[in-house]
């Protein structure tokens, strides 16, 4: 493996754009299916965990007796973890979620507000337009399909029920120390 390839992979992981696109696709599914805001950063993180780790999405779908064929998981995706997430108190987490939400707000594609103790995230009209562009792009076809599958399977679940399901399907996460990198 060349240093050039390693640097390219590192640059991709550190570039916000791919992460923002992935979150927009998840927010688009929430908006389209329920017409509601995404209620909670932790819920968004759990859904994103399944999108970032296709091998984990496959495991969850199988646990829920759902077909994995449409997920189109490639062989290299089964053994490669390219996006770092860590074990956090309430499940998989990336320290950059608040940053990414702030960037989406600054770009005018989402609004975020606090209601009670929960951060709600909702697409703006500009955000819906951007989601439509991403959804139409062949480069994001698998991610869009998987976002839809994730939302169909678990998107309507409250964050706590989703956390419990993730711990049930991925019990190895429970034994990890907080802050430890997840490599499933």
SS (H, E, C) 16-36: HHHHHHHHHHHHHHHHHHHCC
What local confidence, expressed as pLDDT, does residue 151 receive?
A: 92
SS3 71: helix
Backbone angles phi, psi at 122, to 5 degrees: -135, 145
SS3 91: strand
d(CA 89, CA 84): 16
Q: Which two tokens stand for residue 111?
A: 């609004």
What local confidence, expressed as pLDDT, does residue 182 receive?
A: 60
Contact 121, 38 (CB under 8 A): yes
What local confidence, expressed as pLDDT, does residue 59 receive?
A: 86
pTM, two decimals, is 0.82
N-term to C-term CA, the chain: 22
pLDDT tens for the 184 residues of the chain, in order: 566 755 655 555 667 898 899 999 999 998 887 777 899 988 999 999 899 888 888 889 999 998 888 888 777 676 665 555 544 455 566 778 889 999 999 999 999 999 999 999 999 999 999 999 999 999 999 999 999 999 999 998 998 899 889 889 888 776 665 555 566 5
Residue 142 burial class via C-beta count within 10 angstroms: exposed 0-12, middle 13-18, buried 19 and up: middle
């Amino acid at each position: 493996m060349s240093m050039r390839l390693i640097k390219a992979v590192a640059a991709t992981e550190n570039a916000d754009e791919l992460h923002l696109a992935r979150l927009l696709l998840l927010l688009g599914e929430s908006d389209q299916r329920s017409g509601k805001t995404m209620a909670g950063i932790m819920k968004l993180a759990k859904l994103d965990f399944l999108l970032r780790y296709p091998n984990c999405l496959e495991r969850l779908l199988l646990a829920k007796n759902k077909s994995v064929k449409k997920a189109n998981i490639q062989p290299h995706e089964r053994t490669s973890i390219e996006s770092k997430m860590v074990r956090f108190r309430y499940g998989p987490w990336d320290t950059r979620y608040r940053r990414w939400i702030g960037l989406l707000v600054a770009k005018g594609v989402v609004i975020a507000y606090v209601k009670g103790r929960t951060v709600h995230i909702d697409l703006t009209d500009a955000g819906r337009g951007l989601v439509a562009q991403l959804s139409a792009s062949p480069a994001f076809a698998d991610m869009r399909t998987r976002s839809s599958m994730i939302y169909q399977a678990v998107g309507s679940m409250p964050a706590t029920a989703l956390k419990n399901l993730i711990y049930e399907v991925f019990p190895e996460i429970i034994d990890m120390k907080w802050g430890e990198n997840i490599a499933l």
